[in-house]
Amino acid sequence: MRAISGGRAFHLQHLRPSPPCRALTPTIGAALLSHTAPMSRPHRRRLPQGFLPSLEPGVSAVHLCRRVLSAASSVSLDDMLQGELDSAKGELQKHEAVGAFQKIPMVMPATDILMSAQRKSRNVPPTKGIANIAKRERNKGAKQLDALMKELSVPLRTYTENFPKRKHLHPYERSLIELTFGEGYYEQVIGRVDALRKRITSVGKQHASVCAKSTTKREAEERLAEGRKKLEEAFQQGKHAIDDLVNVAKALRSMPVVDLHIPTLCLVGSPNVGKSSLVRVLSSGKPEVCSYPFTTRGVLMGHIVSNHERFQVTDTPGLLTRHDDDRNNIERLTLAVLSYLPIAVLYVHDLSEDCGTSVADQYTTYKHIKERFGDRLWLDVISKCDLLGKTAPTNFYCDNSDNELAQYKSFGPEGAIQVSVPGEIGIVELKERVHELLTSQMARIKAEQGGHETQETGTDGS
């Protein structure tokens, strides 16, 4: 297996590492998560408890609207049903596709929109053939104000219409939006841009109409100048919404691209256990590796190319030992990956406790995650086995072989393989096992795709 270059990461940039093993409180976690906008904004508040469970996976309901057919309609019942099925399929596809963030429009900074609008509108001439000076001037004034209004508002309409509606996003991307910006922020920014567009339209229409009623050349000139001033003021007042949208677009576009049809390995475990070190060994991903917890604060994608096969690898933030409702947004990113992407799990255990989390705590977290996501294909790895002494973990001291935790402390989960990155121990075996796991994952994906296709054929044929 060979790793190709160019892993892509999305990090919650402004987070600071915590001291080893100190649990982040949810409030701190959420506050730390302010990605693009200042913390002082009211929408930066902490997410409500139990937020993530409300984003449970599942196909969104598709509502088929009833069609009202007039008596004269020539559309047959079959055509109608087919149309409804097609639109339902379209809706489903909309819901199931990922990659919406790569298609969002480029947003021009507010200053550029204003400068371009001013320049273009000033070049608008009066309608040809108006001999009367006053009439010509008021015609020009009204046309220029109308042009300025349109040049300012049309880009805003394009943005608000082309940013994806959250309800149409894949649940994974939906949760990324929520966890990155905070609850409701995405819609709020788009709403503010739309409100600015409406305001510009209203001010522009009003002043163009006033200018069109001017009786003298001078009056028309004054009304044009006044209209320009009011439009520019209105734009300046609301321009922060556009700049916020620029930041939202930037953050969304930089999120890692995931292909649901390619098998994906997801590294999971407590903080600082060695997940990122293994991602670097296994794939093209080059996540930061440091000796403190929460070095990884976002989801990172790497790739593995083996012969003609291509696989994805995601690094994730570490999980602390606590209830899911108490997790900070960084940890919730990991749960979002586990919940919504068709991944195979590589769970990393550090039995040396070098990571700063006790083996008992790691076990509690492991059991919880295994219980919740045990239906995924799964491989357990004991990391840092160079720190466990020269002998393999099977020779470790075991005080009570009947005790689950004692077993875990000594051997890790059943079937776990032991590796060391600096010692280069177990890496070849790990790569082989990962390849087997991802090949099985490919078979799962194909079986599921086959299932969907059969369902669709069945539906079409009925």
Ligand X SMILES: Nc1nc2c(ncn2[C@@H]2O[C@H](COP(=O)(O)OP(=O)(O)OP(=O)(O)O)[C@@H](O)[C@H]2O)c(=O)[nH]1
Q: Least distance (Å) from ligand X to the CB of residue 338?
A: 15
Place of tokens 């990324």: 176
Q: Which residues contact 332 (CB under 8 A, 6 or more apart)?
A: 51, 52, 175, 179
Q: Of these, 273, 359, 379, 438, which contacts ligand X (CB under 6 A)?
A: 273
Distance CA 277, CA 272 (A): 10
Place of tokens 């009833």: 66
The amino acid at residue 392 is A
Element (H, E) at 380: strand 378-382
Site string for ligand X, 314-353 (x = CB under 6 A): ----x-----------------------------------
* Measured distance between the N- and C-terminal CA atoms of the chain, rounded to whole angstroms: 46
Q: Which of residues 138-157 bind ligand X (CB under 6 A)?
A: none
Nearer to ligand X, 237 or 291 (CB): 291
CA distances to 10, 125, 205 from 271, in Å = 18, 65, 58
* Residues 199/127, Cβ–Cβ less than 8 Å: no
Q: Least distance (Å) from ligand X to the CB of residue 374?
A: 21
Q: Least distance (Å) from ligand X to the CB of residue 275?
A: 4
Residue count at the site for Mg ion (CB under 5 A)?
4
Q: Which stretch binds ligand X (CB under 6 A): 87-95, 173-181, 182-190, 383-391?
A: 383-391
Q: Per CB under 6 A, does 276 bind ligand X?
A: yes
Site string for Mg ion, 219-258 (x = CB under 5 A): ----------------------------------------
Residue 277 binding target from Mg ion, ligand X, none, CB below 5 to 8 Å by type: ligand X
Residue 387 binding target from ligand X, Mg ion, none, CB below 5 to 8 Å by type: ligand X
* Residues 310/299, Cβ–Cβ less than 8 Å: no
Residue 290 binding target from Mg ion, ligand X, none, CB below 5 to 8 Å by type: ligand X
Q: Which of residues 291-320 bind ligand X (CB under 6 A)?
A: 291, 293-296, 318
One-character DSSP codes across 57-99: -SPPP-PPPPPP--TT----HHHHHHHHHHHHHHHHHHHH---
Q: Least distance (Å) from ligand X to the CB of residue 195?
A: 40
Nearer to Mg ion, 248 or 267 (CB): 267
Q: Which stretch binds ligand X (CB under 6 A): 93-101, 226-234, 267-275, 325-333?
A: 267-275
Q: Least distance (Å) from ligand X to the CB of residue 383?
A: 5
CA nearest to 277, candidates 124, 129, 163, 387: 387
Site string for ligand X, 422-451 (x = CB under 6 A): x-----------------------------
Distance CA 354, CA 316 (A): 19
Structure tokens at 306: 């083996």
Q: Per CB under 6 A, does 290 bind ligand X?
A: yes
Residue 420 binding target from Mg ion, ligand X, none, CB below 5 to 8 Å by type: ligand X
Q: Of these, 383, 410, 418, 441, which contacts ligand X (CB under 6 A)?
A: 383
Q: Of these, 124, 212, 387, 406, which contacts ligand X (CB under 6 A)?
A: 387
- Angle formed by the axes of helices 110-122 and 133-162, to 10°? 150
Site string for ligand X, 388-427 (x = CB under 6 A): --------------------------------xxx-----
* CA contacts within 13 A on the Cβ side of 76: 3
Q: Per CB under 5 A, does 365 bind Mg ion?
A: no
Q: Which of residues 262-321 bind Mg ion (CB under 5 A)?
A: 275-276, 295-296
Structure tokens at 322: 């606590």
CA distances to 49, 92, 102, 444, 453 from 97, in Å = 28, 9, 12, 18, 16
Nearer to Mg ion, 17 or 126 (CB): 17
Distance CA 168, CA 100 (A): 9
* Residues 244/192, Cβ–Cβ less than 8 Å: yes
Nearer to Mg ion, 242 or 381 (CB): 381
CA nearest to 266, candidates 358, 174, 345: 345
- Chain residues in the site for Mg ion (CB under 5 A): 275-276, 295-296
Contact footprint for ligand X (CB under 6 A):
271-277, 289-291, 293-296, 318, 383-384, 386-387, 420-422
